[in-house]
Amino acid sequence: GNMGYTGENMLVKQAASWSAVQVGYFLDKYRLAFLKTEFIRMDITGEKLLHITADDLKGMRVKEKERERLLLAINRDIIWRGSPAMARKWQVVPSKGDIFFHDSFTKQSQWDRPQEMLEELDALGVSLQDVLERGKQKRQARLQQALARREQQEALKDKGQTLESAIDLT
């Protein structure tokens, strides 16, 4: 059910706006600077960082201890710490290169992110779905730009001139 999240987790809000370079500063802070180049290459912005999983990191050949450190940094130091309601109920626990969530009241543990956490990300417009949707829109826009450029080049070629000479004329 709705726990009354109003999208006021300022830490999440801040992190969601980070560029890939700013994510790099965050990695520095957690002694994970060696990941910076790869993260920037993959354009891992703050939004994407909030959704990174142990499997993603395994795929990038990140070692167990470093995976735990990064997943704790994201889930505990950003999402959890930014929400008093979350912090009262849940603990974020490292385990074998991953993290799990422990409910302090029911004493149950789970690998999946708690519903409250998901609702909080939803409220801020940074749910995984939102991020993937925006990524798709960006890719489509880039594709359309590339196609438009190609059409332009084809049209100019027909006129027997290159794009460069057309630009020089203006």
pLDDT exceeds cutoff 80 at 16: yes
> Residue 150 is part of which domain span?
127-170
Burial class (CB in 10 A: 0-12, 13-18, 19+), 64: middle
Mean pLDDT of 3-20: 82
Burial class (CB in 10 A: 0-12, 13-18, 19+), 50: buried
How far apart CA 34 and CA 109 sit, in angstroms, is: 32
pLDDT exceeds cutoff 70 at 85: yes
For residue range 146-164, what is the model confidence (pLDDT) as tens digits?
999 999 999 888 887 666 6
Same domain, 20 and 44: yes
Q: What CATH number is associated with residue 63?
A: 1.10.150.50
Same domain, 115 and 78: yes
Same domain, 12 and 49: yes
Count the alpha carbons within 13 Å of 91 in the hemisphere toward its beta carbon: 11
Same domain, 105 and 132: no
- Check: CB of residue 130 under 8 Å from CB of residue 45: no
Same domain, 98 and 48: yes
Mean pLDDT of 132-150: 90
Same domain, 37 and 72: yes
Alpha helices in the chain (DSSP H): 10-16, 20-29, 36-41, 46-49, 54-59, 64-74, 84-89, 115-123, 128-158, 163-169
